[in-house]
Amino acid sequence: MFDLGPATEEMKRLVSGVQEAQLGEVTPCSDWTVADLLAHVHQFATVFTDNAHKQPSAPPESLVPDWRVEIPRQLDALARAWAAEEAWHGRVSAGGIDMDAADNAVVAVEELTVHGWDLASATGQVLRVGPDQLDVIDRFLDLFASGLPAGQGPFGPVVAVQADASRLDLTLAQTGRDPSWSTAHH
């Protein structure tokens, strides 16, 4: 077990920093605007919360009008749900893939972290992430990227970074994200 609270709290902070004028801006997620990304955050937070409770999920598919209230509320529910011991046992499904519940929590932290970086990058914010959270992303890469062809991350080709890159940048590059992405270049 590990605490999803730091990752959900950071995502809440980033969501609160989004300005209405930024909803149509581009993100590092190809073909997604900031509004699309926020809708995805709400969607996966709902799914991972329901998975912790071993309940079927019917997440919202588009950005809800009261997203400033609903997304943080759902992120709180996510952290609370995975604080319960029983959440970590049994099997669940995410994205049509059946997996152990404990692995599903790993995916939840990966989604919160990578999409937290996406949201921060698209809205001029900085993602704050600790080494424990990056350790969970390493577990995600061990679990899900090991079966990919060499040089391929779970979200695209592994990106080359400088030798002195931060651990966050190295981790993002392994997932297929370009840590140098900025709105100025897109």
* Digitized pLDDT (tens) for each residue of the chain, 186 residues in all: 999 999 999 999 999 999 999 999 999 988 999 999 999 999 999 999 999 999 998 889 899 999 999 999 999 999 999 999 999 999 998 778 899 999 999 999 999 999 999 999 999 999 999 999 999 999 999 988 878 888 888 888 999 999 999 999 999 999 999 999 987 766
For every residue of the chain, DSSP letters joined together read: ----HHHHHHHHHHHHT--GGGTTSB-SSTT-BHHHHHHHHHHHHHHHHHHHTT------SS--TTHHHHHHHHHHHHHHHHTSGGGGSSEEEETTEEEEHHHHHHHHHHHHHHHHHHHHHHTT------HHHHHHHHHHHHHHTTTSPTTEETTEEPPP--TT--HHHHHHHHHT--TT--GGG-
Please state the domain extents for the chain: 5-151
Could you tell me which CATH class the domain 5-151 is placed in?
mainly alpha
